[in-house]
Amino acid sequence: MATSSTSNVYVHVIEDVVSKVRDEFINNGGPGDSVLNELQGLWELKMMQAGAILGPIDRSAMHKAAPGVPITPNPVHDLNVPYEGTEEYETPTADLLFPPTPLQTPMQTPLPGTARTPLPGTAQTPLPGTADNSSFYNIPTGGTPITPNEYSSALDNGGVPEMKGGAGRPSPYMQPPSPWLNQRPPLDVNIAYVEGREDGERGASHQPTTQDFFTLPSGKRKREDFPPQYHTGGYIPQQDGAGDVLSDDLEVIQGSNTRYDSVNSNQQMFVLGGKLSSMIPQFDGPIPDPYDDVLSTPNIYNYQGVANEDYNIVNTPAPNEIQAATPAPLPLNDTGDDDEDEPLNEDDDDELDDVDQGEDLNTTHLILAQFDKVTRTKSRWKCTLKDGIMHINNKDILFNKATGEFDF
């Protein structure tokens, strides 16, 4: 139900629109005037059925109509053209032309507009899931997808935190990426190392693996699970331990790589100039080529068998901290594990959501306007609106200015 003033405004708008698009309909091979009239008639019919305009439409009040214009809802005629005559006069009213169509709301055609104001429904907010997921997971895409099993074995050092080593160095206990691994075929460590070859290759080759090599008394690694094929004849680079010293013993020991009992020599010999940063071969999964990837993926430590999907852990500090943190959510998850015994309460908020969605158009009170200013002081909100249409209690009310005061 509309007041006469709003009804008048609506009628004015309808006529304004129709008159302005008339050129488009008539010229340039448009559908023609009749289609335009049909459009207007249908539009007005719907408006009357919705109670937004009061019929009969008094067009004489709107514009200086030619005399004799019936007041009944006729198709509008161009004001600039003398009233055309019987043909148009006899145009049946919308009611005659179109039997009252069921007021089914058609699917809202997503007609694109020139301005992309938010369409009915929601504002265009970015999907929270997609936007935030990247921040929740600090795992770069190029990170090392080390499987938990292998990694845990790699890091099995008696529970010592793995993030040792200087800044900028990977944990001495982890498997740094070894790009060089792909560069050379594995050498048989049992072959007596030829010095000349060694010199040439020492700097270049970071001999892969040494499976037994890692059974150091420091207990830092257990490499039993490494395939034996990685026994190479070359030196075995090692990055763990501070004060790695390049030892000339390298040559001596090359021939006896099978003897991995001598810790110190093993530790020393395979460090060449401290440059073997990526010498420790890694066999538990693909190896990220850039060495820095490992550094920048502290989340690798998350792979220690704990499927920690706690999205609240954004930063992953030392793994031991992570391990300490994970037990906290676990008790919470435990209650959810027993689906049969304890409900997840997933549906608790559904009723609340329906409050907003379950209302049909007639009961959805809506105010569409433009805002000049929106301010807030503590929990008191104030806004100034203008040029708005209100649909309240099944009524349409228009306003030129509005002030709002809300308490949050």
Residues numbered 338 to 377 that lie near other proteins (CB under 8 A) are 355-356, 359, 361, 364-372, 374
3-state secondary structure of 249: helix
Which single residue is written with the structure tokens 């006469």? 4
Least CB distance to other proteins at residue 110 (A): 10
Least CB distance to other proteins at residue 135 (A): 19
Cβ distance to other proteins smaller for residue 25 or 137:
25
Q: Which among 276, 247, 281, 282 has a CA at the least distance from the CA of 264?
A: 247
**Pattern 16-35, other proteins, x by CB under 8 A:** xx--xx--xx----xx---x
By CB under 8 A, residue 269 contacts other proteins:
no
Question: Applying CB under 8 A, which of residues 87, 339, 350, 405 lies at the interface with other proteins?
Answer: 405
CA distances from 396 to 16, 121, 389, 393 (A): 19, 20, 7, 8
**Dist CA 204 CA 185 (whole Å):** 12
By CB under 8 A, residue 312 contacts other proteins:
no
**Dist CA 124 CA 198 (whole Å):** 64
**Which one of 64-72, 144-152, 158-166, 383-391 is the stretch in contact with other proteins (CB under 8 A)?**
383-391
Q: Where are the alpha helices (DSSP H) in 1-64?
A: 4-26, 33-50, 59-62
By CB under 8 A, residue 182 contacts other proteins:
no
Question: Applying CB under 8 A, which of residues 65, 163, 280, 390 lies at the interface with other proteins?
Answer: 390
Cβ distance to other proteins smaller for residue 64 or 166:
64
CA distances from 279 to 172, 205, 234, 262, 353 (A): 11, 8, 12, 19, 57
Least CB distance to other proteins at residue 19 (A): 9
**Dist CA 364 CA 109 (whole Å):** 21
Question: Applying CB under 8 A, which of residues 147, 258, 333, 393 lies at the interface with other proteins?
Answer: 393
By CB under 8 A, residue 4 contacts other proteins:
no
| Inter-residue contact 269 to 256 (CB < 8 Å) | no
Q: Which among 225, 207, 206 has a CA at the least distance from the CA of 147?
A: 225
By CB under 8 A, residue 123 contacts other proteins:
yes
Tally the residues of the chain. 408
Residues 200-239, interacting with other proteins (CB under 8 A)? none
Cβ distance to other proteins smaller for residue 17 or 330:
17
**Residue 392 β-bridge partners:** 395
Judged by CB under 8 A, the number of residues near other proteins is 81
Question: Applying CB under 8 A, which of residues 112, 128, 243, 273 lies at the interface with other proteins?
Answer: 112
Q: Tell whether omega for the bond before 56 is within 30 degrees of 0, i.e. cis.
A: yes
By CB under 8 A, residue 66 contacts other proteins:
no
**Which one of 42-50, 76-84, 219-227, 270-278 is the stretch in contact with other proteins (CB under 8 A)?**
42-50
